[in-house]
Structure 1
């Protein structure tokens, strides 16, 4: 096992851009998975937007009802680091999530209330980060954090009051993305759309969604395999 510092993280930074900026972030509205919210916006062209306060309350209610969730995901990124990924995810409040990319390469994010691991099997690297400093302004907060605190980190808008479609703008200048949209169907989050600070747009469609299942705590624990490089940030 090798312990690395921040000076040795170029490859891991690329990984984080793919996973955190992409997989946990959202989706370009060109795939079939994103057609539904685009149609909703077109059909509701004359609907009035909700006020920011109402939008925050509506989103808070939806997210509060999502205490845990498992799903498959398909992710597409358009931009400098274009690519497509598929995998599985699990989230459970507070601050527990597992995001596992299975194709075309195996990558894993595991987080609990105190730490977050980013593991790349091909690179044989595992990066450990502090959850508080990394998750506060990321899309992961939406599904695993405290819903009542989301409006402290994001400006929340609901372009059409009769649609469960929300666009969020981070209040922090240091956030890794410029805007994030989130769509719900039947009370379930079904897709996310992210425009990041690198000029990329990433799309995620969730499928086989299970809302509020029982998830074992072991899903949110990670022990680096023997021989991998460990990076502390």
Structure 2
């Protein structure tokens, strides 16, 4: 998948996926909304419940990362600085994260779930501290969409 990720700390983010399927994910500080544009369907849940032990919690929270994860340095031999994070919460979908920095910039994030599936996020064209409008992080329900609460 490809798309754009916006982050406004604390606790607000937005992912606009472009391919293969258009989707937007909006976290407004209390709820997360996932809009599948092809299905014209929105699901929404408690943000705290969904984020525990995930990379989004790591990026969006103001709390120290050590509050949520056990950290260790890793040497992958590729010239990047790697950190491994294991969630302190036992009942999360994610069992391990590995984050790579290249020249001090976020480069890769590897996420392993409890089924052994590995998801890789590759970050490109990073812009630090852009001016973002809070309105970007307010979900607007599309007319005629199915609207499903899942908590």
Please confirm whether the aligned pair reaches a TM-score higher than 0.5, indicating the same fold: yes
Which runs of no fewer than 5 residues in structure 2 stay unpaired? Answer: none
Q: Partner of 1:156 in structure 2?
A: 71
Q: Partner of 2:40 in structure 1?
A: 124
Output one character per residue of 1:56-91: Cα deviation in whole Å (capped at 9) or x when no partner.
Answer: xxxxxxxxxxxxxxxxxxxxxxxxxxxxx1111101
The structure number with the bigger radius of gyration is 1
Which runs of no fewer than 5 residues in structure 1 stay unpaired? Answer: 1-84
1:145 aligns with 2:61: yes
Q: Partner of 2:107 in structure 1?
A: 190
Aligned-residue offset at 1:147: 4.2
Give secondary structure in 1 for the equivalent of 2:127. strand
1:105 aligns with 2:21: yes
Aligned-residue offset at 1:201: 0.8
RMSD over equivalenced CA pairs, Å? 1.6
| Relative contact order, higher structure (CA 8 A, sep 6+) | 1
Q: Which has the higher helix share?
A: 1
| Superposed counterparts of 1:1-233, under 5 Å | 85-148=1-64, 150-160=65-75, 164-233=81-150
Q: Tell me, in whole angstroms, the C-alpha distance in 2 between the residues paired with 1:195 and 1:229.
A: 31
Q: TM-score, normalised by structure 1?
A: 0.60
Q: TM-score, normalised by structure 2?
A: 0.90
- Provide the aligned length of Structure 1 versus Structure 2: 147
